[in-house]
Every structure is written in C-alpha cells, then in structure tokens.
Amino acid sequence: MARLPRLDVVDIPQHIIQRGNNRSICFVADEDYAAYTHWLLAASKKYQVDIHAWVFMANHVHLLATLRASGGVSKMMQSLGRNYVRYFNYSYQRTGTLWEGRFKSCLVDSEAYLLECYRYIELNPVRAGMVDEPNEYFWSSYRINALGKSSELCKPHQEYLKLGKTENEGLEAYRQLFKFQVDKELISNLRKATNKGLIFAREDFNSTN
C-alpha cells in the first residue's frame, strides 16, 4: 500500500508522535533524554521548526511544532533520528532500527485545538500514572510553559501568548488549563488524526489561511 502524502504546511502547527519499534524502550537513562533534546534543538534550528511543547516518554515522544520552511518537519525528524539512533546503538551495544517506522503527524487547528494539544502532550505522564502532577515530570515542556523556566528549545505559539497581557498572567492562565484532564473524545480524535495523517480541526478549518 502506498504511503499517504504528509500534510506539511508552513505556519500551521503539527502534533507529532514517534514510537519505539514494537513499543520498545527508547530512553534508558537521563543522559539519553538529554542527548535527544540536544539533537532536537540542533535540528529544529537548522530546518526552521518552532517547538512549542513536548514530552519524552520511555518508549515514545510527542512534539507540538510549527514549520517555517517547506519540508522542515520531515528533515528535522530524519536528522534527529539518525543522530539519536547512532548514539543509542553505540551506548547500549545494539544494532538495527529503534523507531517504529516513520513518525506520525497531523495538522492542528490552532484557534480551536492548539492549547488542547499542549495539554494533551504535557499531561501524558499523568495519564500514564507516572506522576500526580505534570510539574513532577522532568522531560516535558510543562515547567517552561506553566512555570516560566527558561528554555532555548521552546518557542511559544501566538495562541499561547494570548493567554495573558504579562508573562505572569499568561503562566497563571496556562496553569489553570491543567485543573482538569483532557476530554476523552478529544483525545481519541487527536490520536486518530495523528495516526492517519489527517487534520485535527473544526469542519470549517482552512489550512491555507
């Protein structure tokens, strides 16, 4: 079966997920997460991709990103994959593939669903039962987006910046979004759109706007 073409549109955010092959472990130690972060930063700069939110789980990764140049996301993920797999295989004396095929992605309607996507990503460790609160999980962007921790990797989206007139107002408003879990139907729809390479949007969404 032929692969579906990616919906790769400049200035439209994307939810990206990459899983370990057969859901196998991709990160063993903190050094692995740090290495992945290093190459993600380098590749995002090189290929002009803004990273808004992320979570690195033991066997998969979620990113919320906006490409600023055509083909940027695919190039970023290819570069990141090559560097990290080489590092991981060398570190753990293994060979072969690490990731489960190519990454999955979908375009996200920023006005309707962008902040929901932020929440979905950063609440991942809570849904998995690993922590009680999102700030307790180190390898995510929550502490940056909710608590103001500095980060060279994280670039706020315009919808995020609309949360408050000042930085403190914005941080407080963002934290309030996490008082409740993400709606289960919304989670199901986002996962379906990502796995199938569709658009996570309202019916009247136009990706050319």
DSSP percent split of the chain into helix, strand, coil, nearest 5 = 45, 15, 40
Q: Identify the pLDDT of residue 3.
A: 43
Q: Which residues pair with 99 in a beta bridge?
A: 20
- Burial 172-185, CB ≥16 within 10 A → b, else e: eebbebbeeebeee
Q: How far apart are CA 55 and CA 62, in angstroms?
A: 5
Is 0.75 topped by the overall pTM? Answer: yes
Sort 75 into a burial class: Cβ within 10 Å, 0-12 / 13-18 / 19+: middle
Q: Identify the pLDDT of residue 41.
A: 98
Q: How far apart are CA 4 and CA 35, in angstroms?
A: 31
Q: Per the structure block, which two tokens stand in for 203?
A: 């019916």
Q: Which domains does the chain have, with CATH numbers?
A: 13-194 (3.30.70.1290)
Digits of tens for pLDDT over the chain (209 positions)? 234 556 778 999 999 999 999 889 999 999 999 999 999 999 999 999 999 999 999 999 999 999 999 999 999 999 999 999 999 999 999 998 999 988 999 999 988 899 999 999 999 999 999 999 999 999 999 999 999 999 999 999 999 999 999 999 999 999 999 998 899 999 999 999 999 998 998 766 655 54
Q: How far apart are CA 32 and CA 126, in angstroms?
A: 21
User: What are the phi and psi torsion angles at 199 (to 5°)?
Assistant: -115, 130
